[in-house]
Homo-oligomer: A and B are copies of this chain.
């Protein structure tokens, strides 16, 4: 059987691109990943995502699919093995509800902690982020994964928090999640990052750390220049 051509326009240190890699790996789909230079966007990226000009974009069967949550649903509907979303419509609705919550809330506040220096803005982001993480903590209570006994859609959506947060805490010197206040989330961090196909795709820690430090310096200095 010929291998299907599946290509991901991504970037090795992008949490949103990693979502797509996790989903494809979970489904056992072979794919090629093209690392995009986000500071100098390629014609390829602009052609395949002319509206948002952002990664990730999945290329499959001559079509381009942008937006990580949209791609995850596409993957789940195209390759039926190892379903990501549950079967029950209400459970599916809840997975989508929480995915939207993570993308609209945590995806703003956690980078808000990272992209600011000590000050009001950072403090506000930190407080909000902790409040939102407490809500996720509650969702996890009594469960090993967001998906229940095994990894599902919402675990893949939230997965970046498990890996990126400790780097953010370390680099900013601000602690958001500890085992005492967040026992369920802390246990989930470990359980999720121990899943073989999750672990296998994690960016190398030293390389990621160096990248995040440089990225943050750029963020902070561009902000200073804007003032």
Contacts and interface: CB of A to CB of B under 8 A. Distances in A.
B77 A63 contact: no
Interface residues of A, number: 22
Interface stretch (A17-25, A29-37, A67-75): A67-75
Say how many copies of this protein the assembly contains.
2
6 contacts: A51-B135, A69-B100, A70-B97, A71-B93, A74-B90, A77-B89
B100 A74 contact: no
B51 A74 contact: no
B89 A78 contact: yes
Nearest to A76: B89
A90 B65 contact: yes
Contact of A93 (B74, B90, B93, B101): B74
Contacts of A101: 51
Nearest to A97: B70
Interface of A: 51, 61, 63, 65-67, 69-71, 73-74, 77-78, 89-90, 92-93, 96-97, 100-101, 135
A135 B52 CA distance: 12
Nearest to A63: B90
B66 A97 contact: yes
Contacts of A90: 61, 63, 65, 74
A139 B73 CA distance: 21
B51 A73 contact: no
B93 A65 contact: yes
